[in-house]
Amino acid sequence: MHGAADVEPVVTAEAPPGPRSTALADTTLVIIAFVAIWQLASWIIGRDILPAPVATLRRLGAIMADEDFSRHAWETGRAFGTALVIALLGGLAIGLALGAHRLSGEVAEPILVALYSIPKITLYPVILLLFGLGISAKIAFGVIHGIIPVAIFTMNAVRSLRGVYFRAAKAMRLSPLQTAATIIIPATIPEIVSGFRLGFALTLLGTLIGEMFASQRGIGYMLVKAMETNDVLTVMALALLLITLATIASAILLSLDRKLHKRALPT
């Protein structure tokens, strides 16, 4: 299966910051190379196992033209969008709170990391019992994937803030609220955006896995149905669609991330 995490290398192969035209040329080159390798692999391995790019694209076109597709896409989009908002805002709130209170942060960090590393699929029966078979279970499953990295990144960003900022805030007679709004949040935004990138990818992964195991609708469901009937062409077409969408989103967040990190001091 192609998860959103598989997308990363394509994105990082992007051009170093330079004139926009070279970045575009490099991206095009990467895409051409990717398609060429894919085609070559398809010839060597066999079309039955790895369908060729053109055939995959044609199938994707056919899937997207089908009237059922928009229903499925809407279902996934709705679940993912809701899960993403909850994961980002929830992770941000948890991270800020744990970062600001040292003891809580120290207690919570190992727990968060442990939660992060267990395969969340083992919790799916619990999620299903709690939320039932509908969209809520998919959202919850997406949230538990995405919320932890956002919380960890935010917490560490707040904890590693330089003490001199707080002293400066005190020397400028700022209220706690002014300090949070005008110093803590702007100072940690680059790390928060890095957390958002991971959170985005993992929430998508979680939502799709949720759809694959206990759902009658959504792109995850289409994927698992194609897998059950050994319809490799459909699996590839859907994977291509997901990779493309995730790559575009990740590239946008990455460029924002780079822009923000460039301002950080070279210490």
Partner 1 sequence: MLSDDIQVRLHGVTRIYPAVEGGKAVHALGPLDLELREGEFFSVVGPSGCGKSTLLDVVAGLASPSSGSVTFEGRPVAGEVPDGIGVVFQEDASFPWLSSYDNAAFALRRAGLPEAEIRERVEHTLSFMGLLPFADAYPAQLSGGMRQRVCIARTLVTRPRLLLLDEPFGALDQQTRLLMGDELLALWRETGATVLLITHSLDEAALLSDRVGVMSARPGVFIDRVETGWARERDSRIVAEPAFGRVSGRIWEGLRDQSIKALESAR
> How many residues bind to partner 1 according to rule CB under 8 A?
22
Shortest spacing between CB 183 and partner 1, in angstroms: 7
Which one among 19, 228, 230, 263 touches partner 1, defined by CB under 8 A? 263
The closest alpha carbon to 37, from 63, 62, 9, 64, belongs to 9
The closest alpha carbon to 99, from 149, 161, 148, belongs to 161
Please report whether residue 187 would count as binding partner 1 according to CB under 8 A: yes
DSSP conformation class of 15: P
Please report whether residue 37 would count as binding partner 1 according to CB under 8 A: no
Which one among 189, 240, 251, 256 touches partner 1, defined by CB under 8 A? 189
Which one among 15, 50, 93, 183 touches partner 1, defined by CB under 8 A? 183
Distance separating alpha carbons of residues 71 and 18, to the nearest angstrom: 41
- Look up residue 126 and give its two tokens: 């619990």
**CA-to-CA dists, residue 41 to 33, 90, 133, 189, 239, angstroms:** 12, 43, 39, 42, 17
Please report whether residue 174 would count as binding partner 1 according to CB under 8 A: yes
Q: Give the SS3 label for residue 160.
A: coil
Return the range that interacts with partner 1 (CB under 8 A); candidates 71-79, 89-97, 119-127, 256-264: 256-264
CB-wise, 111 or 168, nearer to partner 1? 168
User: Which residues contact partner 1 (rule: CB under 8 A)?
Assistant: 162, 164-165, 167-168, 170-174, 178, 182-183, 186-187, 189, 260, 262-266
